[in-house]
Homo-oligomer: A and B are copies of this chain.
Amino acid sequence: MLTDIIEALLFASGKGMSSSEMYEGLKHSYTKLEIEKAMRELKESYSGGRGIILIEFNDSYQFQTNPDYGGIISDMLMKTKERELSKTLLQVLAIIAYKSPITKQEIEELRGTNSDYVIQMLLKFNLIEAIGRKETLGHPILYATSEEFLKKFGLTSLSELPDYEELLYKIKNNFDKYFQKSDELYRNRVIDTEDTNQDNDRAEAAAADIDCEETQEDDDMPDFLLGEDVIEVD
């Protein structure tokens, strides 16, 4: 049965699997329509109060434990419980989620303070990722939220973010005005993905790049941020 096969695939995959991947692998035996129908059935049966649920994000599917039992599971299987994200991390995450793709410098301009540490932490937690470089002087890295972000906040896509349309409209029509340097609106940006290594660990690549970027930018930075080193995470 197709639902059984997909159930086995998703279970074995561990990671999220998109319906197009699924289709690609099964197209010799099943039609796209059949696959979609089976996915819906599977999602239906893995829902509600069950211990395993099937979550959907960015048109990908993945099995996950029901968060309702998260407490009891970590009590029994883990040494520690997961803690909430700190306020600062969540704040910057919100900025990136609504304004992405965005560079570190733009985040810093908005926050009025150095944001290396926060960006590194978010990269480390896999909640954001480097998705390319801005086509501007110095080619700074552009960040956006990751699939892990969607999963952590139970979103199937960014458009499910609270007040998404409304905020996007405001950002485009009001707030982008004060950003003299932002020559283009965020959503319509030309992204140069060529020299971002997508295959390697993005977080690490980006983290390493932060250093380089910083050296380049040193000249443009206010004095008090000059030569600012990356803050050590202990």
> Which residues on A are within 8 Å of B, measured CB to CB?
1, 3-13, 21, 25-26, 49-52, 63, 65-66, 69, 72-73, 75-77
Contact = CB atoms under 8 A, between A and B. Distances in A.
A66 B4 contact: yes
A65 B5 CA distance: 9
Which of A26, A50, A76 has the most chain B CB atoms closer than 10 A to its own CB? A76
Main secondary structure of the interface of A (DSSP, over half): helix
A196 B1 CA distance: 33
A162 to B, nearest CB: 28
Given A4-B66, A66-B4, A12 B73 contact: yes
Contact of A66 (B3, B8, B51, B76): B8
A50 to B, nearest CB: 5
A9 B73 contact: yes
A6 to B, nearest CB: 7
A51 B7 contact: yes
A93 B9 CA distance: 30
A104 B73 CA distance: 41
Nearest to A5: B69
Contacts of A11: 51-52, 63, 65
A133 to B, nearest CB: 28
A49 B10 CA distance: 16
A9 to B, nearest CB: 6
Given A49-B4, A51-B3, A9 B66 contact: no
Nearest to A4: B51
Contact of A9 (B9, B21, B50, B69): B69
Contacts of A77: 9, 12-13
Given A25-B76, A72-B25, A76-B25, A51 B5 contact: yes
A13 B77 CA distance: 7
